[in-house]
Amino acid sequence: MMHMVTGKKFHNLSVLTSVLLLASVEIKKKNLFYNNWRFNKKTKSLLVAVIIFGILLSVFAFLPRGNQATSDRQNLFDSSTPTPDPTDSTTDISTPTVGPEKTQNPTPKVTPTLTPKPKPPGLIESAQAMNSTFWQKVAETAWKYYAPGVGLDVKTGLPWGSTGSPYITDWDIGVYIQAVIDASKLNLTQPTGDWGFNSRIDKVLEFLETRELNNYSYPFWFYQATDAKVWHQNSDKATDPVDVVDTGRLFVALNNLRNYDSNFTARINNFVYNQQGNRSNYAAIVPSLISEGNASTSIYSYIICSGFASFWPSTLGNLTTKILDNIYSPANGNVTINGVVVPKSAITTDVLLTAVFDTNTTDSRLNTLMNQVYLAHEAYYTQTGKFRAFGEGPQLTSEWQWEWVVLPDGSCWAALAADYKGIELPPMIYTKVAIGFLALYNTTFSRDLCVNLERHNSEPIFGFRVGVDEQGHQLDGFSSLTNGLILGAALYSVQNSL
């Protein structure tokens, strides 16, 4: 669950008692358990330590201590980010090889257009109906991001988190796998060929099967899409043996992949279950997720538990139901947001959309929660005249932010940076959230929201752009998180004949 590159993230061994006590005290002090909200790396380090140190200490006690991870997705916009060499002879020249952002400083650029310049109506504004033909065009636009040489590295077959940021996490890998599945279902990619479905998936699975693991035999936090190697600059700062949040998102996609094409099931099961003994012992994490799921009211926990439960159903199969029980428990309480009643929980909208589109849940309460969050956005616009589409992602200063519709303490419309401080800039209106609303509800508000973004954003030449702030300033660039979620929205609409 990361840059315009993901996904999302935040993600010592001394005496066990001291570690657990110090970590739990710090977590309680900040009130940042998984059932509260999404964490930065420092906080998640403390949390994951509490969850898994009891299981892993005996195995890892002899290993050296790491440095505290202090950086997050915002660091992926660092001006030192390498850019692809447009003269590289291995570049596929059958598609655009270097997007405009790849030859510039990858720091997000603000386009100060408070009043959009007149231009012809875009795809959404010009649409006569939100039917399957329209949504197929939306999907085609989003899929442009994953063209080789644009958002897909031509050497490794791995996705870039964004144009200008060739770094990936397991959240990013999950987003890409799901995007390839969705594109295949929408007939945007053929089964065979150099960049067909089978080839794309084979390259990603080979990476998962062979990538370098850390001293704990778990994946590093960050890898480089350009050579599939560890991005040590950030990964070496992490103290957690494993990034549970991003692993959960990856597992959601891997489960969907084996359900879609059983030819890949054996390979997936091999490294998830560590059948050859040369990958990660994810089973060691499973017991700790039970207590997590039983107490959580977070949409992130829902994603984590859904992913792990798909591979350990007998042990974790009821946890997503339990999380929704917790969210809707009378003891949990509600908060009224612009006249709309929403349960006190930890909700950021794009992760909720991911849960709706990708987890194949049959629990209607997830759709109810989605509807409540949507109605809060619509009510805000009705009362203020200002568009809003809260999510997780970059903002205009290049920092990563988490825009929370609601938090467990009843706070609402809270935009927080990695250090838990409020964002002083106007909130971002994220394109992925707006189009997700349009796919689900097809209302006047959701269409107007998308048209507003379309008017303020430049042309979607390499997929849909990330978004604008609530004053109309554009955040330039294209990202996998944006276009992956939009592909899921388009597929949802096509399948539901909207």
Alpha-carbon gap, residue 5 to 73, rounded angstroms: 7
Q: Quick check: 392 and 404 in contact, CB under 8 A?
A: no
CB-count burial class (<10 Å; 0-12, 13-18, 19+) for 64: exposed
Q: Quick check: 5 and 479 in contact, CB under 8 A?
A: yes
Alpha-carbon gap, residue 390 to 345, rounded angstroms: 15
The answer for residues whose C-beta is within 8 angstroms of residue 184's C-beta and 6 or more apart is 191, 197, 260
Residue 11 has pLDDT above 50, yes or no: no
DSSP sequence for 434-451? HHHHHHHH--HHHHHHHH
The answer for residues whose C-beta is within 8 angstroms of residue 153's C-beta and 6 or more apart is 84, 159, 160, 166, 225, 226
For 285-309, the pLDDT digits (tens) are: 999 999 889 999 999 999 999 999 9
Give the mean pLDDT of the chain.
80
For 130-188, the pLDDT digits (tens) are: 999 999 999 999 999 999 999 999 999 999 999 989 999 999 999 999 999 999 999 99
For 307-336, the pLDDT digits (tens) are: 999 999 999 999 999 999 999 999 999 999
For 396-431, the pLDDT digits (tens) are: 886 889 999 999 999 999 999 877 788 888 999 999
Residues in the chain: 498
Q: Quick check: 69 and 239 in contact, CB under 8 A?
A: yes
For 41-74, the pLDDT digits (tens) are: 344 444 344 333 333 333 222 222 223 332 333 3
pTM of the model: 0.80
Alpha-carbon gap, residue 452 to 483, rounded angstroms: 18
